[in-house]
Each structure stands twice: as structure tokens, then as C-alpha cells.
Amino acid sequence: MTIEAVIAEVLRQIRPTEEERTFVKRLMGELKELAVETVEELGLDVKPHFVGSLAKDTYLAGDHDVDLFLAFPLETPLQELREKGLELGKVIARKLDSYEIAYAEHPYVRASYKGVSVDIVPCYDVNSWRDVRTAVDRSILHTRWVNENIKGKNDEVRLLKRFLKGINAYGSEIYVRGFSGYLAEILVIKYGSFLDVLKKADFMLRQKIIDPKNWLRREPEIAMRTVKREVELDRPLIVLDPVDPRRNVAANLSWERYGVFYFNAIKFLKEPSTKFFFPEKSRAGNYLDELRRKGTHLVTLIFGKQDLVDDLLLPQLERSARGFEKALEREGFRVFGWDYGYSGDKAFIMLEVDRAERPSVRIHPGPEFFTERGRDFYRKNERVWLRGKRLYAEKSVKENILDVISELLEKNQVSLGKNLREAVKDADFLVDYVPGDLEGEAYLFLSRKKEGLKG
């Protein structure tokens, strides 16, 4: 299949049909009318704006989440904006099918209307980055900038987004750390097309700084401060936000996700295929065979997921997995890798380790022998010897990895996500065995198909 044929086929699947466009336009029209009407009813000075991929016409077929932002005048006190914004959202939402309250920097309404999810979010009516007061205020500016600059490349953005989704590099959530939709739009606007962005995968990294709005010339001081800060944080890319020179649009992009994009871009250009956009599910294998093949061991912790949303749960699971890695390495186990996630109301952490048992003694390095501490160490330890000036002693330790983990948790020597501490302590621990619903996950993890670059 030629690259053109692949692109044509993918576009056929991801470009919204005329029917879908009509549906979306009508839906937005209705929502706008409803919002204007409700604002008037309540006698408020609020402008409704659509933001996000629907407003920019960069949404993928079938992906219709609506973002309706309610812009309050800049002089509104923050507390008032929060209260009246939520109230207004609720009144609008009551006219739709159903709704619930969701939480980000401030609470907002997530409603459902004709099968589409509608986020109704209060914000300030900013005209410039200098006015920005809350995290969501830039969205209106982003939407405006994209619409002014996209020049009909909307399908190119769709291709890039679908490609990033297919290779698992899409989403700027903290637990993904991939490319955001806005970043994809900027890259297409900057380099001209989907293929051009892929061809620039190596170039971009070397260039490091992308500055479509020329902030480095317009606002050199502020822009340079941003660049310096982001260089120090060792980001793979620094994309100065066209609507705010203080912000790196790629701040959440990790080296790992960029690397995934990097190798897939090379591969796709060499051997184009629709598989990059629509990957087949990995064929499952047997995780016990993997363990036997590798001679490693799998420790799995399963515990209640504490009703946490992904934004909180997943980073805390990652933190906890890293905490176990560190603590176990200190105890002499080698951690080959970790994995985490949830299934139903149960969260899990998997650790692949080099052994399930260790010796029951450990060599404990002590101080130099001719010091007060050295003489103490000599007195306190039974089996003690010298290497050079340093004393060493033999120390009894727990052999089994589950006993070691229990002891580490008891002594609070594992750094855990703060909302998970209690749950982890009551976790079920399993060695070289997982319940049926985690067998597939265990296989993908152990076979490295999950984080692997070669799938």
C-alpha cells in the first residue's frame, strides 16, 4: 500500500461524514441558544464559547465531546465566578438529559445530551495572556488562534491525532504524558502537513524550540525565561504557546512518549500501513510461560482503588510502584520492571523481580574501625571483620520477598501515593500468580509488549 493510499483509507475512517457534521452543528447550535437564553434568564453578563476539537473542527469521526465555556467578565471575583459559574452550569444542564459535578481546578458540570458528553466550564473572558487567571482561561484563546491559522489543514490534524492515538502517544494527562490535541494542531500549522510532522521527528528534537508566534523576538525576556526553565527541566521539546509566552505547550510530553513517536514516525515513513492508526490488539500469551522463559518472578499487589479518579489514582499508582522498586533494590532484589492499573474497583501494582528468595544474611558495611562508632559497631555485632579500614558485619534478614515487603510496609520504608497508603497496607500479595482478569495484563507486561517499542 502506498503512503497516499494509506492516508486516503485512514481519512475515510476518521473524517466526519456530512451527516455527522450536520448533527454536530445542530447540537452546538441548540446548546448555544440554550446557554444564551439561560444567561439572560439569570441576568448574568456571561458569553458562551465553544472550545476544543469540535470548535476547531479537528475532531475525529465519532468523537463528539463538547466543551462549552462560560466566560465571565475579568472584574468578577474568583469566588463569585466559581459559585455563579457552577450555578449557571447546573441550570443549563437541567435542560439537557442528565448531569454530574466534576472537579478540576474548580468544580464544573458534566452533562449528557443526545448521547454526547457536554462539559460546561466557567472561565474568565480573557483577550490576552496577561489576563489569564485560571488554568482553563487560555482555551478560548487557543481555539481562536487555531481557527485563524489552520488554513484548511484540519484533516492533517485528524491524521496526526489518530496516528498518535494508534501508537499510544496521545493525551497530555499526567499518566500518559503524550501529545495534546493542541500540540498536534500547532505542529501541523508549523510544518504544513501530517507527513511533514513525521519527517521532522528528528529535526524537531535537535531544534528543541518551536516558536510559531515569534515570542523570542516579541517578548524576548519572558520567552527566554520560559526557555531556560524548560531546558533545566530537560523537556524533549519547548513549544512556546502562541497565546502565552510563559507556557511550554509540550511541558507534559515525556521522553518516552516522544521516543515512541520518533521510532513509529521512522517506521511509518519506511513501511506505511493503516496499522499505525488502528493497531490490532496484541495477541495474548501465557504469563506463566513468560516467567518460566525469563526465570524471573512476578509480585502482584491488589487493593481497593479508593474511588479515586484517574488523574489522582494513576499518578499515585506510578509513584507507589516506583517506591516499591526503590525499596526492594535497597534490599538486594533487582526489579526488572513494574506495571500498574486497575480493573473494576481493584487497583494493582505488578513488580517483576529477579528472585523470590534472598539469602538470610546480609553484609552490613560499618564505619572505620578506629573511631568511636567503629568500636561501638565492633561491640554490638557478633560476626564482624575488616576490609581495609572499614568494619563489616553479618546481619540476619528475612528471606522471602513477601516477608520483606510486609516488613518494609510496617516500617513505612516504601514511598507510596498518599491516598493509597492505607489500601496498600491491606493489599493482597501474590507471587507468580494473578487472578484471571489480570492474566492478559501480566502477559503484556512481562513480555514487554506493553511498554515495548516494537509491540
Q: Which residues contact a copy of itself (rule: CB under 8 A)?
A: 202, 205, 236, 255-256, 259-260, 262-263, 266, 293-296, 332, 334, 336-337, 354-355, 357-361, 363, 369-370, 375, 378, 382-389, 391, 394, 399, 447-448, 451-454
407, 410, 414, 416: CA torsion to nearest 10: 140
Query: Is 119 annotated as ligand-binding?
Result: yes
Q: Is 364 annotated as a binding residue?
A: no
Q: Which helix (H) or strand (E) holds 76?
A: none
Q: Which is nearer to a copy of itself, 154 or 296 (CB)?
A: 296
Secondary structure (3-state) at 50: strand
- Residue 311, marked binder: no
Cα separations in angstroms, 304 against 132, 146, 313, 407? 39, 42, 11, 21
Report the nearest approach of a copy of itself to the CB of residue 19 (Å): 42
Q: Cβ 311 to a copy of itself, closest distance in Å?
A: 23
Secondary element (H or E) of residue 171? none
Q: How far is the CB of 185 from a copy of itself (least distance, A)?
A: 24
- Around Cβ 83, how many Cβ atoms within 10 Å? 14
DSSP secondary structure, 346-404, as one string? EEEEEEEES-SB--SEEEEEEEETTSHHHHHHHHH-SSEEEETTEEEEEEE---BHHHH
Would the annotation count 142 as a binding residue?
yes
- Taking the least distance from each CB to a copy of itself, the nearer of 192 and 332 is 332
Q: Please report how close the Cβ of residue 251 comes to a copy of itself at its closest, in angstroms.
A: 16
Q: Is 45 annotated as a binding residue?
A: no
Q: Supply the minimum distance, in Å, between the C-beta of residue 3 and a copy of itself.
A: 21
C-beta of 330 vs 334, nearer to a copy of itself: 334
Confirm whether residue 244 is marked as ligand binding.
Answer: no
Q: How far apart are CA 70 and CA 35, in angstroms?
A: 9
Nearer to a copy of itself, 344 or 388 (CB): 388
Using the minimum distance from each CB to a copy of itself, give the nearer residue, 216 or 356: 356
Residue whose CB is less far from a copy of itself, 130 or 270: 270
- The C-alpha atoms of residue 372 and residue 128 are separated, in whole angstroms, by 66
Would you say 161 is a known binding-site residue? Answer: yes
Least Å distance between CB 272 and a copy of itself?
18
Return the ∠ at Cα 179 (arms to 176 and 183), rounded to 5°.
150
Using DSSP's 3-state secondary structure scheme, residue 239 falls into: strand
Binding positions for ATP: 53, 56, 142, 161, 170
